[in-house]
Chains A and B, each alone.
Chain A
């Protein structure tokens, strides 16, 4: 056997490069399996959208000697009283926005009509932009059905149940993602200047907006607020100095309709 070694030139490098390929795939699989496990764990522990909770509950999430957060929660409590949590699955911004706005519309018939018109129109705009009608219409229908339920003044628990049903809830998230993508692409010139790494808006939408579970940043919020003409306020709470959360309104200077709490990587709904 030993004598054969020198006459075996090719298997070595081949095996090496293939092992890399296999490792790469093994990585892929391992990452996907782990992602699945994490998602499942998160799903068991968190409803897609929770009941309304006392904001003071937040104190419990941080250690008592975690002064930065304890102080910021104290500050937040002066402005808000309740919180509604969303599942941290990367879709939380869209889900939080969708629920918070529709819930508010139960009490605001005028805004409901305006929102309904904008939403109804939005599909044609997307189709005109090149989205395939038959692939997006199921998602659009889900939004319209939810709006109609709100119009019929369904009790709040029913709306909450709809948002906790993955088929409805995720379809709404897909449509809100499509609206965000559509708006980013319509105002390509404006948004492109915020992108890093030389990506085009189209690429950014394909990579960071349209696929499920991709987290949202300022640029997504600006785009969705613009697409639906709904002003969004986000209270940013992180480990930074200052003793208070940083509120941002999108678009700037408008009267916010939806209030969200942002903690690194996650959005929840805030109530006065």
Chain B
């Protein structure tokens, strides 16, 4: 790796140091650069023990800007966790109750501890934040241990040292909580996504048959396959431009899949017209590309059925 980077670059110098510093996993966190890219790391963190994330082991990516450490890293979670959306870039916030900004003397370790400390805090409807129920978070925490990252080959079962009750780890817990009070994370907002918020917002009620598929698609997408999340993260910025209005979509993203399913079921039971039911369903993280593909697929399926029907009918005639 050394040969490929300009060692005079402050960022390279610093990241080499951090890579050495974080080489061995601790019982709370581990992070290393990808083999072919010093500016992209994968990390694993343990869910804070006194929370719904207890027992969870979460994996994600860290993207370092060329100006690092003068500019902060971005973090993308790859494991479903019920607190942060999977595949969405989260970075330090300059707004709200946390006026602090990134400090060059912080490190990737600081960012990891901040993420751990930040998990039990309330999402409060922020974009990129999720407010799943404690039960769902606990279920996800359990499930998270089975995750194995295809990109870096890390298996969650062996990624971290087993938890010890020693003073070092409780020190890390304390630091994490302290940092969470200072740092706030938010999702990166795509500017093109904002711009289409206005008009589509008002047309939300008028979607009927056309929006049926995308809505169901949205519910399914809330549990994205962690392995495919990486590519999703790449394409998400492009897709975001076509996404449904954030005003509505983010309200439904803060619902957990179970809550959403329950809502849909109750709606299905309601004795109103079918079109109305569809209009009332929460419009999830849908995007038009996904829905178009689905519509095309369904059209093909329907065509195939009709074709088969015709064939069958013809055969019947021939046999006669």
* A132 / chain B contacts, CB cutoff of 8 Å: 105, 107, 109
Q: For the complex, is B289 an interface residue (Cβ under 8 Å from A)?
A: no
Q: Which residues of A contact B246 (CB under 8 A)?
A: 18, 22
Is there contact, CB below 8 Å, between B10 and A206? no
Taking CB atoms, residues of chain B closer than 8 Å to A19 are: 247
Q: Is the CB of B94 within 8 A of A32?
A: yes
- Interface readout for B69-102 with A: 1 if CB under 8 Å, 0 if not? 1100000000000000000000001111001111
In the complex, chain A residues 6-60 whose Cβ is within 8 Å of any chain B Cβ: 7-8, 11, 14-15, 17-19, 21-22, 24-29, 31-32
Confirm or deny: A174 has a beta carbon within 8 angstroms of a beta carbon on chain B: yes
* A14 near B251: Cβ-Cβ < 8 Å: yes
* Chain B residues closer than 8 Å to A29, beta-carbon distance: 189, 191, 194
Q: Check if B100 sits within 8 Å of A18, measured CB to CB.
A: no
Report the minimal beta-carbon distance from B20 to chain A, rounded to whole angstroms: 8
CA distance A14 to B201 in the complex (A): 12
Residues on A with beta carbons closer than 8 Å to the beta carbon of B272: 7
- Candidates A1, A27, A31, A210; contact of B206 at CB < 8 Å: A1
A170 to B189, CA, bound (A): 28
Q: Which residues of chain A are within 8 angstroms of B99 by Cβ–Cβ distance?
A: 207
Give the contacts of B1-33 with A (CB-CB under 8 A). 10, 13-14, 17-18, 21
- With A167-B10, A211-B102 already in contact, the answer to whether A15 and B201 are too (CB < 8 A) is yes
Nearest chain A residue, comparing its CB with the CB of B93: A28
Number of residues of chain A lying within 8 A (CB) of chain B = 37
Bits for B177-205, please: 1 = Cβ < 8 Å to A, else 0: 00000100010010100100100010011
A80 and B95 CA atoms in complex are apart in Å by 43
Query: At the interface, yes or no: A134 with Cβ under 8 Å from chain B?
Result: yes
B186, B197, B248, B279: the one within 8 Å of A28 (CB)? B186
B125 adjacent to A211 (CB under 8 Å): no
- Cα A28 to Cα B94 in complex, Å, equals 7
Question: Does B13 contact A138, Cβ atoms closer than 8 Å?
Answer: yes
A210 touches B105 (CB 8 A): yes
Known: A11-B204, A28-B186. A22 touches B250 (CB 8 A): yes
Which of B231-271 touch A at CB < 8 Å? 246-248, 250-251
Contacts of A206 in B (CB 8 A): 100, 103, 182
**Does residue A4 face the partner (Cβ distance < 8 Å to B)?**
yes
Instruction: Name the contact of A139 in the complex, choosing from B104, B109, B201, B276 (C-beta under 8 A).
Output: B104
For A212, the chain B residues whose CB sits under 8 A away are 70, 104
- Cα–Cα, bound, A25→B206 (Å): 27
CB-CB < 8 A to B10: which residues of A?
138, 167, 171
Enumerate chain B residues within 8 angstroms of A4, measured Cβ to Cβ. 205, 276, 279-280
Give the residue name and chain of the A residue nearest to B270 (CB): A7
Contact flag A18-B194 (CB < 8 Å), given A28-B95, A206-B100, A206-B182: no
Please, how many angstroms separate the alpha-carbon atoms of A25 and B194 in the complex? 10
Inter-subunit contact A15/B248 (CB<8 Å)? yes
A125 to chain B, nearest CB (A): 14
A136 to chain B: which residues have CB within 8 Å?
105
For A209, give the chain B residue with the smallest CB separation: B103
Contact A15 B189 (CB under 8 A): no
Q: Are B247 and A22 in contact (CB under 8 A)?
A: yes
Given A4-B276, A135-B107, A210-B103; A22-B206 close (CB under 8 Å):
no
B106 interfacial contact with A, CB 8 Å: yes
- Distance in angstroms from A131 CB to nearest chain B CB is 6
Tell me the residues in window 126-159 of chain A with beta carbons closer than 8 Å to chain B beta carbons.
Answer: 131-132, 134-136, 138-139
Inter-chain contact A31/B70, CB cutoff 8 Å: no
Do residues B103 and A15 form an inter-chain contact, with CB atoms below 8 A?
no
Please pick, from A28, A134, A139, A171, the residue contacting B18 in the complex, using a CB distance under 8 A.
Answer: A134
Q: A24-B96, A210-B105 are in contact. Are A170 and B17 (CB under 8 A)?
A: no
Given contact pairs A11-B204, A207-B99, A210-B103, A21 touches B94 in the complex (Cβ within 8 A): no
Q: Are B205 and A1 in contact (CB under 8 A)?
A: yes
Q: How far is the CB of B291 from chain A (nearest CB, A)?
A: 20
B148 at the interface (CB under 8 A from A): no
Across the interface, A31 reaches (CB within 8 A) one of B17, B94, B280, namely: B94
Contact of B127 among A8, A25, A131 (CB under 8 A): A25
Q: Are A22 and B127 in contact (CB under 8 A)?
A: yes
Query: Of B106, B126, B279, which contacts A135 at CB under 8 A?
Result: B106
Determine whether A223 belongs to the interface, using a CB cutoff of 8 Å to chain B: no
Identity of the chain B residue whose Cβ is nearest the Cβ of A13 in the assembled complex = B251
How many angstroms between the C-alpha atoms of A165 and B191 in the bound complex? 32
- Shortest Cβ-Cβ A-B pairs, 10 listed: A14-B251, A211-B101, A210-B103, A28-B95, A174-B104, A18-B247, A135-B105, A19-B247, A135-B107, A25-B189
B interface with A by C-beta (< 8 Å): 10, 13-14, 17-18, 21, 69-70, 93-96, 99-107, 109, 125-127, 182, 186, 189, 191, 194, 197, 201, 204-206, 246-248, 250-251, 272, 276, 279-280
Extra inter-chain contacts (4) besides given A134-B18, A136-B105, A210-B103, CB under 8 Å: A1-B205, A19-B247, A132-B107, A211-B101
A sample of 13 inter-chain contacts (CB < 8 A) reads A1-B206, A4-B276, A7-B276, A7-B280, A15-B248, A18-B125, A18-B250, A22-B247, A24-B95, A25-B95, A210-B105, A211-B103, A212-B104
